Chain A
Amino acid sequence: MSFCAEQLARVQPIWERMLDHRFLRETRDGTIAHETFANWMRQDYLFVEAAIPFIAALLPKAPRHHRVALGMAIPTLERELELFRERAEAAGVDLVNVQPSFTNHAYVQFLIASAYSKSYVEAYTVLYVAEKAYYDSWMVVRAGIDPNSIWYAFVENWTSDAFAGWVAYLEEQLDALAEGVGPAERERMTELFELTAKYEVAFWEMAATGEAWPGLG
């Protein structure tokens, strides 16, 4: 069994909890409160902004044949930010001066700290899980959302053929990289795989509850 298939099976309870999250169900069913979705938009905008230095920090460690794909991810993320700004204007959501929630802040530090202090394969594991989680999550929403919803553009973005292809590429590459690592590194990859999945669940939960910063809210 490939590394990704094995790990996805291992974290299946976490994954199911993520896909069954009320934020996704309510977005799909059109019952999500405008402010709840707006809260997600504001936080995810910050997250996407931080994903750019995360990818950039992977580049010096990347094998030569990974550079083009990683490099192309950066303008893609910039276009994603543009999508957020465009949708925010249409929906009356203010993206200026947003403070990261605790979960968002923690997740971003985790991403970038992984890129700096872990091996390339370990940090690549984090990248794959984050992207795979988004693809699977938004596919849940796609399975029922009204195409006329003002949030539909986000569904299109993360369920597009292009995004599906990117996730499939990451999976194929991660499986290949995993073939060449020793047991200790594979163990660390396993830990990061699970931790990233947990952060994804925590992110939806943060979006749904409007969590700010414990003790300061």
Chain B
Amino acid sequence: MAFTDELYAAAKPIWDAQLEHRFVEGIGDGKLDEERFKRWVLQDYRYLKEFARIFAWAVAKSEDLASMSWYAAVLNLTLNTEMELHRKYAARFGLTPEDLESAPMWPTTRAYTDFLVRTAGDGDMADLVAALLPCAWGYVYIAQALVRREAPEDQRYADWIEQYASVEFAEAADWLKAEMNRLAEGAPAEKRRRLTELFVLSSRYEWQFWEMCWKGEIGQFTPGDLGDRRVLGADAGQVADDQLISFAAWFPPRQHLAQLGVHGLRLQCTFRDRVVKLAQLQALAQPVDDDLAGPCQDRCG
């Protein structure tokens, strides 16, 4: 059994959850709301810039010339080809290069890329490959699953699937998998456990990246209003409710309620209850469906 098979088995529940994620499903059937997809375009651009740095670390840490050359080629491809393709693709959604450059990095993107940079910095080559593999392999894995289905009508989504399911991306993922197996060969159990942990962590972040794009996260808040404007904006009908919900990951909604002049809600009630109450008080622009409110309950009690 190849080591990458072990990695896949360890992360399979998360990979399955990615395939079933409503964002991924939405690309597959073409029904994904364009506004949600734009979040992916913007955040993935920020992600790619950091992802490219990991290949630079890999060049510095490779032991043999063949590996150095491969990582250098991927670095070049990412910076000088893929990012340009990304800019052109973004234009099909009305996003300019300036939009891409100025988009704030959302917390999940930051956490994921910081994790990669940190792992590349203090880990060895095997650690680095284990951490970046869930992205390189995962996108091919997802796209190859989607490409077997009927193509979405929206050509932009069909092209997305086709690109990541392409031979070029598949070959790059296969090369990295082979590299992972080579680096893990003969590694002691403790090292293999560590590599598995890194692979699973990146897989979690991959899932969370879809989740972030589905829900939206707090982009930028300037001191002085902190993002309260999002809550207040909801009051004025300017902010989607799901963005308000995801905001709870960073700051307690309780304080926002007070700022809205809403007092007396039970502090221990579930987040869904609070959102429903908010809706009753007409503090939200639209009703919130349970599907959106549900996943937040556990951290908003």
Selected interface stretch from B27-35, B61-69, B109-117: B109-117
What residues of chain A lie closer than 8 Å to B251, measured between beta carbons? 17, 201-202, 205
How far, in angstroms, from A116 to B56 measured CA to CA in the complex?
A: 13
**Contact between A209 and B299, CB atoms less than 8 A apart:** yes
Shortest beta-carbon distance, A162 to chain B, in Å?
A: 29
Q: Which of B113, B201, B224, B252 has the most CB of A within 10 A?
A: B252
A130 interface residue per 8 A CB criterion: no
**Contact between A109 and B121, CB atoms less than 8 A apart:** no
Known: A215-B17, A217-B298, A217-B299. A116 touches B226 (CB 8 A): no
**Contact between A57 and B122, CB atoms less than 8 A apart:** yes
What residues of chain B lie closer than 8 Å to A10, measured between beta carbons? 223
What residues of chain A lie closer than 8 Å to B249, measured between beta carbons? 214
How far, in angstroms, from A212 to B300 measured CA to CA in the complex?
A: 12
**Contact between B250 and A109, CB atoms less than 8 A apart:** no
B22 interface residue per 8 A CB criterion: no
**Contact between B121 and A116, CB atoms less than 8 A apart:** yes
Shortest beta-carbon distance, B224 to chain A, in Å?
A: 6
Known: A105-B115, A106-B110. A53 touches B122 (CB 8 A): yes
Q: How many residues of A contact B (CB 8 A)?
A: 36
- Tally A-B pairs: CB < 8 A: 89
Question: CB within 8 Å of A: which of B248-288?
Answer: 249-252, 255
A3 interface residue per 8 A CB criterion: no
15 more CB-based (< 8 A) A-B contacts, given A105-B115, A109-B111: A13-B224, A13-B226, A14-B223, A17-B226, A17-B255, A106-B111, A109-B118, A112-B114, A112-B122, A116-B117, A116-B121, A202-B250, A214-B249, A214-B299, A215-B295
**Contact between A117 and B224, CB atoms less than 8 A apart:** no
Q: CB-nearest residue of chain A relative to B246?
A: A214
How far, in angstroms, from A186 to B17 measured CA to CA in the complex?
A: 42
Known: A53-B122, A117-B117, A209-B300. A215 touches B224 (CB 8 A): no
Q: CB-nearest residue of chain B relative to A108?
A: B118
What residues of chain B lie closer than 8 Å to A106, measured between beta carbons? 107, 110-111, 114-115
**Contact between B211 and A215, CB atoms less than 8 A apart:** yes
Interface residues of B (CB under 8 A from A): 17, 53, 107, 110-111, 113-115, 117-118, 121-122, 201, 204, 207-208, 211, 223-226, 249-252, 255, 295, 298-301
Interface residues of A (CB under 8 A from B): 10-14, 17, 22, 53, 57, 102, 105-106, 108-110, 112-114, 116-117, 194-195, 198, 201-202, 205, 208-217
What residues of chain A lie closer than 8 Å to B250, measured between beta carbons? 198, 201-202, 205
Known: A10-B223, A202-B250, A205-B251. A109 touches B204 (CB 8 A): no
How far, in angstroms, from A110 to B110 measured CA to CA in the complex?
A: 8
**Contact between B110 and A112, CB atoms less than 8 A apart:** no
**Contact between B226 and A14, CB atoms less than 8 A apart:** yes
Known: A17-B226, A194-B223. A215 touches B207 (CB 8 A): yes
Q: CB-nearest residue of chain B relative to A213?
A: B204
Q: Which of B17, B114, B121, B226 has the most CB of A within 10 A?
A: B114
What residues of chain A lie closer than 8 Å to B107, measured between beta carbons? 106
The 10 closest A-B pairs by CB, nearest first: A106-B111, A116-B121, A109-B114, A113-B114, A113-B117, A109-B115, A112-B118, A211-B299, A217-B298, A113-B118
**Contact between A214 and B295, CB atoms less than 8 A apart:** yes
What residues of chain B lie closer than 8 Å to A214, measured between beta carbons? 208, 211, 249, 295, 299
How far, in angstroms, from A116 to B107 measured CA to CA in the complex?
A: 19
How far, in angstroms, from A134 to B61 measured CA to CA in the complex?
A: 36
**Contact between A216 and B114, CB atoms less than 8 A apart:** no
| A-B pairs with beta carbons under 8 Å apart, 10 shown | A11-B223, A13-B226, A105-B111, A106-B107, A112-B114, A112-B118, A113-B117, A205-B251, A212-B299, A214-B208
What residues of chain B lie closer than 8 Å to A116, measured between beta carbons? 117-118, 121-122
Shortest beta-carbon distance, B200 to chain A, in Å?
A: 10
Shortest beta-carbon distance, A137 to chain B, in Å?
A: 16
What residues of chain B lie closer than 8 Å to A198, measured between beta carbons? 250
How far, in angstroms, from A201 to B248 measured CA to CA in the complex?
A: 12
How far, in angstroms, from A58 to B193 measured CA to CA in the complex?
A: 28
